[in-house]
Amino acid sequence: MLYHVTMDVKIPRDLPADERAEILSREKAYSQELQRQGKWRHIWRVAGQYANVSILDVRDNAELHEILSGLPLFPFMEITVTPLLRHPSAIREDDS
């Protein structure tokens, strides 16, 4: 099942630099592994913001929740999730 996920990151300014760097390193490794697995299909940065728009392809709501809540930056995020369905006018067969 496909999901459109918007993540706005709000890291506290007073978070120690070494802690911030460690969280960001774990976040990158975690998200890249999900991309290699094919679960995190697309990720785009939102220009001018510390935010991204992503497409995740997972089994169900429970798996999506598990993935998102496992993000090291999860405590510092505002997340919006929109489930997606194939549009009947779509011409690409490989994008469901």
pLDDT along the chain (96 residues), means of 10: 97 97 98 98 97 97 98 98 92 74
CATH of the domain at 58: 3.30.70.1060
Range of the domain at 18: 2-84
Give the CA dihedral 65, 67, 70, 76, nearest 10 degrees.
Answer: -70
Please give the pLDDT value at position 95.
Answer: 66
Residue 93 domain-assigned (yes or no) = no
User: Is 55 a member of any domain?
Assistant: yes
Q: Is 38 left (phi over 0), alpha (psi -120 to 50) or beta?
A: left
Model-level pTM? 0.90
